[in-house]
Structure 1
Amino acid sequence: MSTDDHEAGNRPDEEYRGPARLRVGDDELAVLIRVSARFEPVEGRFRWAGRTSPDAGLRERVSGGLREASLTIPGSPAATVRLSEPDPWGGVRLSGTGTPPWFR
């Protein structure tokens, strides 16, 4: 995003839906994600969260205690992501802080 984009008031999309890769330990998993971001003015930073599409292997790892991973969205650098309990639809909840990876 160029400086002109910021001056014009344009902002990156607050939501991303699409492919991503999760690095979990030594393994890398292809997943589909849906995440959204919001800026927290009191904290002075972004918080972003969402979920993966259903994935039995990832769900099993998270249920076994896995909590951190690295998330890569095509065209963006990796970001640390926190994994939470599986949701009722079989996906895994994820969250992060700082600049969302799809903003970069």
Structure 2
Amino acid sequence: MSWHGPAWIAGTAVRLHGTGRWEPVDGRFHWAARVEPEPRIVRLLRSGRRDVEVRVGDRSARARLTEVDPWGGVRITGVGEPPWHRNPVALAHHPPSTCRSGHPAARRSGSPDAGQ
């Protein structure tokens, strides 16, 4: 699953390139993104600020600024729902109990109506 588009970090408009995955070891969704070069975000990171809120449209998520890449972009990471809408195909890989809607993601083979 990948995503790219406009976002806001600490009151600054940025462009993000993000990706994420379901991590079966801890049972949570882990995501990361690269912020295209933006001097204000680099200054935040270098001043010691790590925890930020990332907004994409009406969605937001807590994230951590981690490093500046060689091209001047900043890497951010988060755990839980990302600030962008996830692809429904990615949701199908989650165990049934983790779907946000509460509906099973797939039928179990032992259920009475399996295969119908």
Q: Is the 8 A contact 2:61 2:81 kept in 1?
A: no
Q: Quick one: which amino acid aligns to residue 16 of structure 1? A: W
Q: Distance in 1 between matches of 2:78 and 2:68?
A: 16
**CA displacement, residues 29-58 of structure 1 (integer Å, 9 cap, x when unaligned):** 000000100000111111000210001121
Residue 101 of structure 1: SS of its match in structure 2?
Answer: coil
The TM-score, its normalising length taken from structure 1, stands at: 0.77
Calculate the aligned-residue CA RMSD, in Å: 1.3
Q: Once the two structures are aligned, what percentage of the paired residues are identical?
A: 41
Picking from 31, 46, 63, the partner of 1:63 is 46
Q: Distance in 2 between matches of 1:101 and 1:50?
A: 10
Bigger Rg, which one: 2
Counterpart of 2:22?
Answer: 39
Q: Is the 8 A contact 2:60 2:82 kept in 1?
A: no
Higher strand share: 1
Structure 1 runs (4+) deviating above 4 angstroms are: none
Could you list the runs of 5+ residues in structure 2 that have no partner in the other structure? 87-116
Could you list the runs of 5+ residues in structure 1 that have no partner in the other structure? 1-13
